[in-house]
Amino acid sequence: MTGRAPQEGGARDAARALFVDLTGREPDGLWSAPGRVNLIGEHTDYNDGFVLPFAIPQRTVAAVGRREDDRIRVRSTFAADAVEVGIGELDDLFPTREGQEPGVPEWAAYPLGVAWALRQATDSPGPLPGGVDIAIASDVPVGAGLSSSAAIEGATASALDALWDTGLDGAALARIGRRAENEAVGAPTGIMDQMASMLGEPDAAIFLDCRSLETRVVPLPVAASGLAILVMDTHVKHAHSTGGYRERRASCELGARIMGVPALRDLSVADLPRAQERMDDVTFRRVRHIVTENQRVLDTVRLLDERGVRAIGDLLVASHASMRDDFEISTPELDTAVDAALAAGALGARMTGGGFGGAAIAVVEQEAVGTVSQAVNAAFAAAGFATPLLFPVTPSAGAHRDA
């Protein structure tokens, strides 16, 4: 049996109710943005490489209304208290200095960071944009590697773009979200999650070149192919503002420096023997993951185009092995989920997202969802791990106005 999927749509009512509770009136509008699953292409985004994520049905909703003054107040279901600052004070709060905590509670640094980054991007000597109240609720599981943070950023950026009339497109708002994440929250992430959350489309993945930011919508007709993509949330929480993610990024930058290229994107599989001669074993394995993963993304896109979803299983499995053995970002729980799903007949499986916890995915025949789920649950029980949360996802729409 699969677990209960995180509720879809509940966040809309919750955000509206929270806004009414905060302000005593109805919001001017509701804007939402989804979490994402990355089908393949992990840690390649900050190496100028290729990724292939899709948006999931679970969304974060921002209920937003204008204020008479120039203050900005945020409230969310993540915390008991609202946080309020003057819009003019955002420049004193951010950027957050490296190694320091944001000057506001971390959850509030996401929406306030978006407001700050949006002001910076559209900086003009004119008057401050009008104040706003923002109430946020989410259906995206937090800390599961499904980009709950990009969903907050996308919902807030879409709302402020509309109310402040900044007229930015989805890719520009994704860059605003990333800047908030990097410079307000202090997590050194790439652009993948924000682009997936802003630009996702139903029944499709988004192929993104993280250097040019060019995108291509790649059909991913999971249900029409008789398949399901099962998310297996291990409940091991991860955070990207800490340790491992930063270290991996530093290793990649070191590898690129040693090879004399601007980014690991500029190396191909044929360069790997030369790389191995020049660097220590750990750095080399980090480099090998990125270089082979970029190639796997390109191969996945080609196979999806030519042969459909059923053909990509082996690439997902190879991607997981590379993350487990070379990049070393998997965990025993993620490996157990992937191995158990494959042993029970999944066509392919891999951890998804930044790693060090979070979720894995499995591509399974629709009629095998129950069997695969039972096998994963049994493997977790046998290993003494907490029961995972298992639920199918379909590729879904990106950020939009809901009401």
The catalytic site residues sit at 193
Given a contact cutoff of 8 angstroms between Cβ atoms, the answer to whether 8 and 56 are in contact is no
Least distance (Å) between residue 240 CB and ligand GAF: 5
Given a contact cutoff of 8 angstroms between Cβ atoms, the answer to whether 190 and 45 are in contact is yes
Residue 330 assigned as binding residue? no
- 48 vs 133, beta carbon nearer ligand GAF: 48
- 27 vs 354, beta carbon nearer ligand GAF: 354
Least distance (Å) between residue 390 CB and ligand GAF: 20
Residue 148 assigned as binding residue? yes
| Residue 205 CA, distance from chain mean position | 13
Residue 238 assigned as binding residue? no
Residues 31, 24: Cα–Cα separation, whole Å: 19
Residue 144 assigned as binding residue? yes
Residue 212 assigned as binding residue? no
Least distance (Å) between residue 242 CB and ligand GAF: 13
Residue corresponding to tokens 């008991």: 80
The 3 state secondary structure assigned to the chain is CCCCCCCCCHHHHHHHHHHHHHHCCCCCEEEEEEEEEECCCCCCHHHCCEECEEEEEEEEEEEEEECCCCEEEEEECCCCCCEEEEHHHHHHHCCCCCCCCCCCCHHHHHHHHHHHHHHHHCCCCCCCCCCEEEEEEECCCCCCCCCHHHHHHHHHHHHHHHHCCCCCCHHHHHHHHHHHHHHHHCCCCCCHHHHHHHHCCCCEEEEEECCCCCEEEEECCCHHHCEEEEEEECCCCCCCCCHHHHHHHHHHHHHHHHHCCCCHHHCCHHHHHHHHHHCCHHHHHHHHHHHHHHHHHHHHHHHHHHHCHHHHHHHHHHHHHHHHHCCCCCCHHHHHHHHHHHHCCCCEEEEECCCCCCEEEEEEEHHHHHHHHHHHHHHHHHHCCCCCEEEEECCECCCEECC
- 2 vs 189, beta carbon nearer ligand GAF: 189
Write out the residues near ligand GAF by the rule CB under 6 A: 38, 42-43, 45-46, 147, 189-190, 192-193, 240, 353-354
Residue 160 assigned as binding residue? no
Residue 244 assigned as binding residue? no
- 190 vs 313, beta carbon nearer ligand GAF: 190
- 156 vs 189, beta carbon nearer ligand GAF: 189
- 48 vs 193, beta carbon nearer ligand GAF: 193
Residue 13 assigned as binding residue? no
Least distance (Å) between residue 216 CB and ligand GAF: 18
In degrees and rounded to multiples of 5, residue 27 shows phi and psi of -70, 160
Residues 215, 16: Cα–Cα separation, whole Å: 33
Strands 50-51 and 83-86: unpaired
Least distance (Å) between residue 150 CB and ligand GAF: 7
Least distance (Å) between residue 88 CB and ligand GAF: 30
CB atoms within 10 A of CB 242: 12
Residue 387 assigned as binding residue? no
- 290 vs 376, beta carbon nearer ligand GAF: 290
Sequence ranges of the binding site for Mg(2+):
149, 181
Sequence ranges of the binding site:
42-45, 76, 143-149, 181, 245
Sequence ranges of the binding site for ATP:
76, 143-149
